[in-house]
A and B are shown apart, each in its own frame.
Chain A
Amino acid sequence: MENLKKTPLHGRHLQAGAKMSPFGGFDMPIEYKGIVEEHEAVRNHVGVFDVSHMGEVFVEGPEATRFVNYIFTNDVTDLAPGRILYGMMLKPDGGTIDDLLVYRMAPERYLLVINASNIDKDVAWIMTHAQAFDVRAVNCSDEWAELAVQGPEAEATLLKVLGIDATGLPFYGFKESAGMIVSRTGYTGEDGFEIYATPERIDGFWQKLLDAGVQPCGLGCRDTLRFEAGLPLYGDELDENITPVEAGLGIFVKLDKPDFIGRDAVAAQKAAGVDKKIIGLEIEGPAIARHGYEVLDSEGNQVGTVTTGYRSITLGRNLAMALVDASHAALGAPLQVKVRKKTFPAHVIKKRFYTPNYKK
């Protein structure tokens, strides 16, 4: 416990009586009022998350665009300043180093937002590859704090409580002013924003939002929300042994752009098909499939493993994402899940269980 990092709002979380738990090397709030209440606040109204554990790396220099395109699966060539792309960094064999957001701050200046658990690894990877380019990469993860304000009332809340007018911001667009970045992004399947600023400023925003009655939300509901929207979590649906194509994220891998690390591996998978795939599962019965549980075919042979599973709070159904042999990945395919000593029938469904309400 002693080696866990703390976000600038750590004291606030303790003060609010949050249940805390280690995540990605940080001591993070899991829930305040309860996962169900917080989940519903975001689906129906608005909630605020401390996501200061996320990493921020700035890349700039004459070859910034060339460099980002070389380490990133999506294509930033035509990305306008003020816009954001989601994608991955890959190993040469196509395995995923991390999934990240890339903000184009200026024609040759980018912000890479990376997962907390991968900061050290990603920064080392970025620095190593940056040597061959005329760029400078700076890890600013400790200097920036971040809030996510999510839910159908997020836009109105930003304006009313924080005086931030984000009305005109498109989905995956951002604005930057006076050392603050506000983007229309999130990880919940709802409309919402992420705000990056200094720890002092973020602390002030957090207090204002709570004083205005906005529900503080922990990582517990962050996971149930992203799960329902079919969004991957690095470590569950993505890791160094899973390619984006296998994770069903092939649309974020652009083959019609200059070469990038891992290109050949994912191009081969796109052409020939994959051996394993992340699928959605509905369990027929009361049991809940959890990370690591075995997925079996109808004869009882193991054909995969559950990556995330919940009784969906919004839908009330027992759902899971799982990595299975591609021969069992067709929609409707009958499978079974082993839950402790019993097995329960299940079938493959689309993994976007809940249709996101993004403002586009």
Chain B
Amino acid sequence: MEKILYLPTHEYIRIEGTKGYIGISEYAAKQLGNIVYIDMPEPDDEVSAGEEFGAIESVKAASDLYSPVSGTVVAVNEALVDEPGLVGKDPMAQWIIEVEMDNLDELDGLLTPEAYAELCAHETH
């Protein structure tokens, strides 16, 4: 079953078995505007839940990217190296890293789509 969960810092993780695809939410993409660079880890790098794994740069500023889970980077989205702006166009399809998760229990601490939507609604007001 496919399942999507969020961090309050606007990263999502799409879960397929023990694999997770991590990217930024539609809301975050809209807030960032034109994306010009994504600083991504390398395959085989370790990521930790709640810790920074890279950064996404809009014209204006760099924003850290936080990992919703702990695990090992299996792949990065190579298309974003030459065309980081793709994330802004379709953030849910254009994941940034694919991770093999260490501990599925970590998912319990993440926001459901409903809880995340509520958080965004509060941020805009």
Contact = CB atoms under 8 A, between A and B. Distances in A.
Contact of A31 (B33, B52, B57, B62): B33
B39 interface: yes
A290 B62 contact: yes
Interface residues of B, number: 14
A286 B59 contact: no
B59 A340 contact: no
A24 B59 CA distance: 20
A166 to B, nearest CB: 31
Interface in A205-263: 220, 223-224
A35 B55 contact: no
Nearest to A291: B61
Contacts of B58: 35
A331 interface: no
Given A30-B60, A220-B59, A220-B60, A35 B34 contact: yes
B39 A287 contact: yes
B36 interface: yes
A288 B60 contact: no
A311 interface: yes
Nearest to B81: A286
Which of B59, B61, B62 counts the most A-chain CB atoms under 10 A from its CB? B59
Contact of B59 (A19, A224, A287, A339): A224
A311 B57 CA distance: 10
Contacts of B61: 290
Nearest to A316: B36
Contacts of B39: 287, 339-340
B36 A311 contact: yes
B34 A34 contact: yes
A339 B60 CA distance: 15
- A-B pairs, top 5 by smallest CB distance, nearest first, are A35-B59, A311-B36, A36-B34, A288-B57, A290-B62
Interface of A: 19, 30-31, 34-36, 220, 223-224, 286-288, 290, 310-311, 313, 339-340
16 contacts: A19-B31, A19-B33, A30-B60, A35-B33, A35-B34, A36-B34, A36-B59, A220-B59, A224-B59, A286-B37, A287-B37, A287-B39, A288-B62, A310-B59, A339-B39, A340-B39
Given A19-B33, A220-B33, A340-B62, 12 more contacts: A19-B31, A31-B33, A34-B34, A35-B33, A35-B59, A36-B59, A223-B60, A290-B61, A310-B59, A313-B59, A339-B39, A340-B55
